[in-house]
Chains A and B, each alone.
Chain A
Amino acid sequence: MSGRALLAAATAAAVLLAAGYAALGGGRYTPPRTAAPCDQRPSPPASGIEALVSQLALVALDGAACALDVSREELTLAFFSDAESNRLAANNDLAPTDVERAVRAGLMRAVEDARRRGAIDAATARLVAAVVALAPLKSVVENLPIVKERSP
């Protein structure tokens, strides 16, 4: 085999492999983007108390994330992982009062959203909103990992 033939064969093999893998989708992965928490998400009609609670929780989470200017995914991770809660609190300079205010805002948004969709009637919505406004959320919030790790 001549040197030139070897060079041509090597070039062909290298280009074919890289082009073939690129054609099969290699190198095109981009991580999925997380939705903006302040945008309204379409909510499917909920049937049953569990589905309603689930929907309320998701809307509340969006509301809290919107108030803190983070994604709902980052906030969820911070609720369940000490490392993630430290990271989120450090990156966004969060204090326990910020989280308490955000959770209250999220719950209010969830109640209002449920009322607007007709999932709960106006009287129930007013009652729940009053509970959310007056409830001692501080103690609940202080037991979340995101706050527990940052408290003095």
Chain B
Amino acid sequence: MRTAAISLAVGLVLADSSIAVLALPALYRELGVDLADLHWVLTTFNVALALAAIPAARIVRSLRPGRAFAAGLVLFALASAACAAAPSFGALLAFRAVQALGGAAAVVAALELLPPLVRSRTRAVAVWVGAGAVGAAVGPAVGGVLTEVISWRAVFAVQVPLALVPLGFVGGLRSTVVPTPRSTRLRIAPNIALALVSAALAAPLFLVVLLLVEGWGLSPIAAASVVSVLPLAAVATAPLVRRVRGVRERAAAGAILVAGGLGGLALLPRAGWVWTLAPQALVGAGLALAITAVTEAALAGRETPVNAGITIAVRHAGVVLGLLLLSPVLVADLDRQRGAAERAGTARLLDAPVSPRTKIRLARAIGDRLDATPGRIPKLQPAFRSVASDAGERPALAKLEHDLDDVVDRAVTSTFTRPFALAAALALAALVPIALPRRGRG
């Protein structure tokens, strides 16, 4: 029960790196945020967690881990409540940073509390890493359901009681039952692999949601159902993690699966959520294998709070790196594809067998849509709905609407091709540090 409670805390904190992704459209509407600044809800948390993890580990080492864990969770719960009540976007970002500070202390301390419960440092690392991987994967789906059913504020409000639950289970825990680590030296190669795989995972965690909601117009709850394939695949793969002993093989297989899934997302044959299922399943399975294996490799024989803090810092720095690398590519391609889609759609409109009057009305309505959605690929259905036409023209207009939707869908889908391909390359690049011979087995 105590192991489950501590795992819940780790999963909860690390879910926060992605939990708000489906709440972004609601935040955009309610808080009047500039579209370009919206990503800071995610980036602030990940940057703060990456920066706070190592100092938090030093604090955990000087305090008793139980106290650090409890203090971190209380701070996380208070900051979550503040996020839920945030009056402005700036306040929300500030509270997100505080959330990350508390979360960092709780997660790092958790690694010190788990070994006596599972009677092995190696097993403790496996539990700790697994809880974090599942939390990060489940985040978008849970956040999407809460946003759709209640509000974006509920995403943060539900974390308050959940963060307080583990506090009842940590009293009297000590971290001295199992032998102390053999070495404190940092393993460079597994940490580089962890950063690269984490950077690649920014794509399925954030870009798939953007594609589903902003690109193909799915509601947050529908998108949440679609992206739940990823955590389900991760959970289904968990038994393999325990059954295959070779850490390096697990890490390499995981990185290859992540790269293959991202390659599939880059090569979507058609617009439609169903085509994202198989790639997401591969990414989920790869995530379960790779993240756990490279983190275990980074901490093998050196499971100190500072090294645990470093893996947390590296992982979230990797996510931020992924966002920083993928975002400019996505924005550039969005601009390029938007222009191409507009020109292709206009060509179809000009050549459509409808009267000049209908063409002008439709062109004006589409122009208004373009002006109303700057920097985004517009939805054209409202433009067609607003144009009255003769009964004789309706079949031609219906065909035109279908053709324009097809142009827009293809443009949207291909906008994401290069960012997903880049993310796949990051996952494949992780194979290099994974394949490097391991030195200095302290």
Contacts and interface: CB of A to CB of B under 8 A. Distances in A.
Interface of A: 1-4, 6-7, 9-11, 13-15, 17-18, 21-22, 24-27, 29, 31-32, 34-35, 50, 53-54, 57-58, 61, 71-74, 76-77, 79-84, 145
Contacts of B366: 80-81
Given A3-B245, A6-B250, A82-B371, A11 B344 contact: no
B320 to A, nearest CB: 26
B72 interface: no
Contact of A84 (B264, B344, B367, B417): B367
Interface string B394-413: 00000000000001001101
B127 to A, nearest CB: 21
A2 B346 contact: no
Given A50-B355, A80-B364, A81-B371, A3 B269 contact: no
Most buried by A among B254, B256, B282: B256
A58 B411 CA distance: 26
A25 B257 contact: no
B15 interface: no
A98 B275 CA distance: 48
A83 B371 contact: yes
5 tightest A-B contacts by CB?
Answer: A14-B260, A3-B249, A3-B246, A26-B267, A80-B367
B414 interface: yes
Nearest to A27: B267
Contacts of B268: 21, 26
Most buried by A among B243, B249, B252: B249
A73 B343 contact: yes
B340 interface: yes
B59 to A, nearest CB: 38
A27 B356 CA distance: 36
A126 to B, nearest CB: 24
23 contacts: A2-B246, A2-B249, A3-B244, A3-B253, A6-B249, A6-B250, A7-B252, A11-B253, A14-B259, A14-B263, A17-B279, A18-B260, A25-B270, A26-B264, A27-B266, A32-B407, A35-B347, A73-B344, A73-B347, A77-B342, A80-B367, A81-B370, A84-B370
B248 A58 contact: no
Nearest to A82: B371
A26 B268 CA distance: 5
Interface of B: 240, 243-246, 248-250, 252-254, 256-257, 259-261, 263-264, 266-270, 275, 278-279, 282, 286, 289, 337, 340-344, 346-347, 349-350, 355-356, 359, 363-364, 366-368, 370-371, 374, 407, 410-411, 413-414, 417
- B interface: dominant SS: helix
A10 to B, nearest CB: 4
Contacts of A25: 269-270
A29 B356 contact: no
Contact of B264 (A18, A29, A58): A18
B261 A14 contact: yes
B249 A7 contact: yes
B264 A73 contact: no
Nearest to B258: A14
Most buried by B among A17, A25, A35: A17
Contacts of B253: 3, 6-7, 9-11
A128 B55 CA distance: 81
A54 B355 CA distance: 7
B257 A21 contact: no
B250 A32 contact: no
Contacts of B243: 1
B429 to A, nearest CB: 15
A77 B252 contact: no
B371 A76 contact: no
Contact of B363 (A9, A21, A22, A79): A79
